[in-house]
Amino acid sequence: MEKAKLERINFLARKSRTEKLTRTELDEQAALRAEYIAEIRASFGAELEHTVIERPDGTREPLRKKKQ
């Protein structure tokens, strides 16, 4: 995520603690947070795709998605 967007998220969070945000600012904050969370989830998912389990006998097994 761009540094300017992160700074804007932090600015809106600080402002919301001291005063009430306008409807436009609330919408912007929600959109920025959703974008940030989507990037975090994508990054974490990519990391899990490259994670392997090493068994005591030395075999390596990639993680698989859990069946629901």
Q: Give the amino acid at 62.
A: P
Q: Are 3 and 9 in contact (CB under 8 A)?
A: no
What pTM was estimated for this model as a whole? Answer: 0.73
pLDDT at 68 over 80: no
Q: Looking at residues 3-7, what average pLDDT do you find?
A: 95
pLDDT band at 39 (very low <50, low <70, confident <90, very high): very high
Count how many residues are written for the chain.
Answer: 68
Three-state DSSP at 2 gives coil
Q: Which residues of 10-48 are buried (b: 16+ CB within 10 A; e: fewer)?
A: eebeeeeeeeeeeeeeeeebeebeeeeeeeeeeeeeeee
